[in-house]
Copies of this chain bind each other. A is one copy, B any other.
Amino acid sequence: MNIGQAATASGVSAKMIRYYESIGLIPKTLRTEAGYRVYSDHDVHTLRFIRRSRDLGFSVEQIADLVSLWRDRERASKDVKTIALDHVSVLERKIRELQEMASTLRHLAENCCGDSRPHCPILEELASDEPLPVHTKTDAKFGALGKA
């Protein structure tokens, strides 16, 4: 199987397959005499594992760990779970940040009549010296992303 077929079968683009090989996430494949990379069904299976991990937002570094745990039949499921739950925490933090932004912006936009007149509370708020009003329901004290 050439790289294009492996790409189609796995859902990982040929570009990314070469990239993953270059950074050592997947081993170097066999080559034909002409230098074409050759892939087996097993390789495609690994690529699909990688793609599914990416779909869940894991970084390439974490995927390297997951792949090595996957290959290790002596692994402790605890190690996998730790990686997964650490990632969930990261996702949840990002979600909270984005929710805070969206919520603040929605409230600013609500107070802007959005017509042809120039008066605009959104701009006023951006130009203000006061801290941005945060409108999350629960926890509002995570400070925006700036570093004070």
A-to-B contact residues, CB < 8 Å: 11, 45, 48-49, 51-57, 66, 69-70, 72-78, 80-82, 84-85, 87-88, 91-92, 94-96, 98-99, 101-102, 104-106, 108-109, 112-120, 122-123, 125-127, 129, 132, 137-138, 144-148
**Chain A interface secondary structure, helix, strand, loop or mixed?**
helix
Chain B nearest CB, measured from A132 CB (Å) = 6
Report the Cα distance A91→B101, complex, angstroms: 8
Using known A-B contacts A92-B102, A102-B95, A144-B55, determine if residue A129 contacts B77 with beta carbons closer than 8 Å: no
Using known A-B contacts A92-B148, A101-B57, determine if residue A127 contacts B49 with beta carbons closer than 8 Å: yes
Nearest-CB residue, chain B, relative to A76: B116
Apart from the given pairs A54-B145, A55-B145, A69-B120, 10 other A-B contacts in the complex at a CB distance below 8 Å: A45-B127, A48-B129, A51-B146, A56-B105, A57-B98, A72-B118, A75-B120, A76-B116, A77-B120, A91-B101
